[in-house]
Amino acid sequence: MKKLMVLDGNSIVNRAFYGVSQSLTTREGQPTNAIFGFLNILNKLLDEVSPDALCVTFDRSAPTFRHQTYDQYKANRKGMPEELASQMPLLKEVLAALNVPRYELDGWEADDLLGTIARLDEEAGWETVIVTGDKDSLQLVTGKTTVKLVSTRMGRTTTKDVTPESFQEEYGFAPKNIIDLKALMGDSSDNYPGVKGVGEKTAMALIQLYHTIARLYDHMPGICSAPGTPAKPGLIKKLEEGKESAFLSYDLATIRTDAPIAFQPEDNLRQAPDNDKLYQLFLDLEFAKLIDRYHLTAPQGEQAVQSDVPAVLEGGCYLETDITPEHARSLLELWRTKEVVHIVALPSLDAVCVECHLNDDSWNASLLRADKLEHYNEMIRVLFSDPAIKKAVHGLKNLCRALLAEGISPAGFVFDTEVAAYLLAPADGSYELEKLGLTCYSQQFPKASLYLDEGAFGPLSDPEPPAQAMMRHCLLIDALRDTFTARLRELGMWELYETVDLPLCQVLAEMETEGFLIDRGALAEFGTMLSGRIDAVQKTIYALAGEDTFNINSTQQLGGILFDKLGLPPVKKTKTGYSTNADVLEKLRGEHPIIEHILEYRQLTKLKSTYADGLGKVIGPDGRIHTSFQNTVTATGRLSSTEPNLQNIPVRTELGAELRKMFAAPAGRVLVDADYSQIELRLLAHMAGDQAMIDGFRSGEDIHTITASQVFGVPLEEVTAQMRRSAKAVNFGIVYGISPFSLSQDIGVTVQEAKAYMDLYFAHYAGVRTYMDAVVEQAKQAGYVSTLWGRRRWIPEIKSSNFNTRSFGERVALNAPIQGTAADIIKLAMIRVRDRLKTEGLEGKLVLQVHDELIVECPESEADAICKLVEEEMEGVAALSIPLLAETHAGKTWAEAH
Q: In this prediction, what percent of the chain has a pLDDT beyond 90?
A: 59
Strand-strand pairing, 341-345 and 317-320 = unpaired
Decide if 194 contacts 187 (C-beta within 8 A): yes
Whether a cis peptide bond, with omega within 30° of 0, leads into 227 is no
Q: Give the bridge partners for 159, in sequence order.
A: 150
Q: Which residue has the higher pLDDT, 311 or 620?
A: 620
| Cα→Cα distances 816→26, 634, 640, 812, 813, Å | 21, 11, 16, 6, 6
Report the distance separating Cα 215 and Cα 209, nearest Å: 10
Those residues with Cβ within 8 angstroms of residue 294's Cβ, 6 or more apart along the chain or in another chain: 273, 278, 282
Burial class (CB in 10 A: 0-12, 13-18, 19+), 389: buried
Closest CA to 501 of 514, 513, 484: 484
If DSSP codes are grouped into helix, strand and coil, which group holds residue 311? Answer: coil
CA torsion sign for 394, 397, 399, 400 is positive
- Range scoring the smallest mean pLDDT among 9-23, 98-112, 159-173, 808-822: 9-23
For 865-884, what is the mean pLDDT? 96
For 335-359, what is the mean pLDDT? 92
What is the predicted pLDDT for the residue at 800? 82
Decide if 344 contacts 393 (C-beta within 8 A): yes
If DSSP codes are grouped into helix, strand and coil, which group holds residue 187? Answer: strand
Using N-to-C axis directions, what is the helix angle for 679-688 and 803-839, rounded to 10°?
Answer: 110
Using N-to-C axis directions, what is the helix angle for 502-514 and 396-405, rounded to 10°?
Answer: 40
Strand-strand pairing, 341-345 and 391-393 = parallel
pLDDT tops 50 at residue 310: no
Report the distance separating Cα 739 and Cα 328, nearest Å: 64
Q: Which of 314-318, 350-354, 588-592, 821-825 holds the top average pLDDT?
A: 821-825
Report the distance separating Cα 738 and Cα 203, nearest Å: 46
**Band (138; pLDDT cuts 50, 70, 90):** very high
DSSP string, 807-832: HHHHHHHHHHHHHHHHHHHHHHHHHH
Element (H, E) at 710: helix 703-712
What is the predicted pLDDT for the residue at 517? 97
Report the distance separating Cα 3 and Cα 117, nearest Å: 12
Strand-strand pairing, 127-132 and 363-369 = unpaired
**CA torsion, points 125, 129, 135, 139, in degrees to nearest 10?**
10
pLDDT tops 90 at residue 87: yes
What is the predicted pLDDT for the residue at 699? 87
Report the distance separating Cα 384 and Cα 685, nearest Å: 44
If DSSP codes are grouped into helix, strand and coil, which group holds residue 53? Answer: strand
Using N-to-C axis directions, what is the helix angle for 721-735 and 740-747, rounded to 10°?
Answer: 140
What is the predicted pLDDT for the residue at 323? 86
Please work out, in degrees rounded to the nearest 5, the angle formed at the alpha carbon of residue 215 by the alpha carbons of 210 and 221.
Answer: 90
Q: Give the bridge partners for 784, in sequence order.
A: 794
Question: For residue range 264-282, what is the model confidence (pLDDT) as tens digits?
Answer: 999 999 999 999 899 889 8
What is the predicted pLDDT for the residue at 302? 35
Report the distance separating Cα 108 and Cα 524, nearest Å: 72
pLDDT tops 90 at residue 871: yes
Which letter, b or e, does each residue of 692-701 get, where b requires 16 or more Cβ atoms within 10 Å of its Cβ?
Answer: ebbebbeeee
pLDDT tops 50 at residue 665: yes
Question: For residue range 615-642, what is the model confidence (pLDDT) as tens digits?
Answer: 999 999 999 999 999 999 998 999 999 9
- The three state secondary structure string of 424-459 is HCCCCCCCCHHHHHCCHHHHHCCHHHHCCCCCCCCC
CA torsion sign for 674, 678, 684, 689 is negative
DSSP letter at 254 equals P
DSSP string, 376-436: HHHHHHHHHH-TTS-EEES-HHHHHHHHHHTT-----EEEEHHHHHHHH-TTS----HHHH
User: What are the chain's domains?
Assistant: 3-267 (3.40.50.1010), 298-490 (3.30.420.10), 519-618 (1.20.1060.10), 680-817 (1.10.150.20)
What is the predicted pLDDT for the residue at 401? 97
Closest CA to 679 of 853, 890, 848: 853
Give the largest CA-CA distance in the chain.
108
668: left (phi over 0), alpha (psi -120 to 50) or beta: left
For 159-188, what is the mean pLDDT? 91
Question: In whole angstroms, what separates CA 804 from the centre of its chain?
Answer: 16
- Contacts made by residues 687-690, CB under 8 angstroms, sequence distance 24+: 687/771, 687/788, 687/817, 687/818, 687/821, 688/765, 688/767, 688/768, 688/770, 688/771, 688/772, 689/767, 689/771, 689/881, 690/765, 690/766, 690/767, 690/768, 690/771
pLDDT tops 70 at residue 852: yes
Question: For residue range 431-474, what is the model confidence (pLDDT) as tens digits?
Answer: 888 777 665 343 433 333 322 333 333 333 333 346 777 887 88
Q: Which residue has the higher pLDDT, 238 or 408?
A: 408
Q: Which of 74-83, 151-160, 778-787 holds the top average pLDDT?
A: 778-787
Q: How many CA atoms lie within 13 A of 634 on its CB side?
A: 18
Q: Give the bridge partners for 391, in sequence order.
A: 341, 413
Question: For residue range 711-765, what is the model confidence (pLDDT) as tens digits?
Answer: 888 898 899 988 898 888 888 888 777 888 888 888 888 899 888 888 888 988 9
pLDDT tops 80 at residue 652: no
Q: How many CA atoms lie within 13 A of 604 on its CB side?
A: 21
What is the predicted pLDDT for the residue at 211? 92
For 187-207, what is the mean pLDDT? 86
Strand-strand pairing, 628-630 and 792-794 = unpaired
CA torsion sign for 716, 694, 808, 633 is negative
What is the predicted pLDDT for the residue at 439? 59
What is the predicted pLDDT for the residue at 720? 92
Decide if 22 contacts 83 (C-beta within 8 A): yes
